[in-house]
Amino acid sequence: MGTSTSFGGGKDRNPLIPSWVDDDMSPTDAAPDAQPSSPEPDGGEDGGSDGSDETGDQGNEDQANPEAGNGGEDTDGSADTGDKSTAGRHRGARGGFTSFAKSGGSSGRALGRAIASYVRKTAGGSRNAARRMATERSAAVRLANLLSDASTSGIREVARILELSTLANRPVLEIYAALVDVVCGTGGQLDDSIARDAYINAVGEIAEIDGTALEHPSIETVGLIMEHFITNTICDRLMNAIATQIVTLPQDIETVQDIERQMKDFVRGAVSDAVADQGTTFLSDQMKETVDSLYERTFSILHALAEEKAKS
C-alpha cells in the first residue's frame, strides 16, 4: 500500500491493524506492554511543479545536503521550507511523477525521470538515500533477526522469549501483527510510521502467497518477507517525497492503484536484483552491515534502472 500524501501513521480512530487480523483482536490484546503514541504528521510538501514534464531535471538544481536534518540519517528533506535549494532538489522528481500521474500511468519515461531525479538530486545519491532511511534500516535488522529465530524455533517460541506468552496460542498472523512494536518501535515520527506500514503490508502480502509457512519460515520465506518489507519502506519513502498530487490528478481509484502498483513493481525489481547480486540470505551474523549494504545497493540499481527507463 503506497502513501499518496505525507504519511501520518495510525490514528486512534484508525489504528494500524491490518484487515487480515481477526476483528476480536484489539491493539491491547496484541501487545499488552506496548505504550502506543500518537504519530505526528509530516510537515507536508508543496505540490511541486510539472514544468519539467519533458525536459527532465534542471541543470542548476542543487545537490541534496547529506548532513541536513538529523545528521543526514532520517530525513529525505520532503517537507519544503521555502528555501530555493530545497524546492530545486524536489522539482525534477515531483515534476516527473506529476507527468506520470497525469498520463494515467502510461508514461514509463516520466516514472523513470521521477525516480532517477529523487535518487540523484533529492537524496544526493544512492549512499545518501540509504543513509536517510536509518529508522527503516534498523527495523529491517530487527525483522531479519526475529525471522532468523522463528525459522529455527518457530514464531510461537519467539513470542514466549519476548515475554509475550499470551500471544503464543493466537493464530500465526495475529502473532506477527502483534510484533509490529518489537520490529518497528512505537515512535510517532514519519520514519517510524513508514516502517510500521511497510511491516504490516509485507506480512499481509506474504500471507496471500500459497505455500509460504509463517509459523516456521523457511530461508526462502524469510527472504520473501524481507524483500517485501524493504520494497515497501522505499516505496512509502518515495511516495511521501514526490507523489503529493497522486490523489488529485487521476480521475478514478483504479488508476491510482495502478500507479502505485507500477511504482512498487519497479522498486521490487531493484530490491530483488540487489539481493541476488549480494547473495543475501538474511541469516547473517552481521545483519546490520548486510542490511545497510543492501539498501545502498538497491538505490544504486534503482537509479540505473530509472535512468534507462527515462530514455526508453
Residues in CB range of 11: below 8 A, 6 or more apart: 38, 39
- Distance of alpha carbon 254 from alpha carbon 269, whole angstroms: 22
Q: What is the pLDDT of residue 281?
A: 82
Note whether 188 and 37 are within 8 A (CB). Answer: yes
- Distance of alpha carbon 236 from alpha carbon 238, whole angstroms: 5
Q: What is the pLDDT of residue 188?
A: 84
Q: Which residue has the cell 531535471?
A: 57
Q: What is the pLDDT of residue 23?
A: 41
Look at residue 257 and give its three-state secondary structure: helix
Q: What is the pLDDT of residue 191?
A: 93
Residue type, 257: Q
* Burial of residue 311, with CB atoms counted within 10 A of its CB: 0-12 exposed, 13-18 middle, 19 or more buried: exposed
* Burial of residue 234, with CB atoms counted within 10 A of its CB: 0-12 exposed, 13-18 middle, 19 or more buried: buried
Q: What is the pLDDT of residue 8?
A: 40
Q: What is the pLDDT of residue 283?
A: 77
The string of DSSP codes covering 124-174 is SSHHHHHHTTHHHHHHHHHHHHHHHHHHHH-HHHHHHHTT-GGGTTS-HHH
CA dihedral 1, 237, 193, 229 (to 10 degrees): 60
- 115 HSE (CA, 13 A, CB side): 30
Note whether 241 and 76 are within 8 A (CB). Answer: yes
**How many CB atoms neighbour CB 154 within 10 A?**
17
- Going by C-alpha positions, the residue among 211, 184, 220, 170 that lies closest to residue 21 is 170
Q: What is the pLDDT of residue 86?
A: 61
Q: What is the pLDDT of residues 144-175, one digit of tens each?
A: 999 999 999 999 999 999 999 899 889 999 99
Which residue stretches of the chain have pLDDT < 70? 1-87, 245-251
- Distance of alpha carbon 176 from alpha carbon 98, whole angstroms: 36
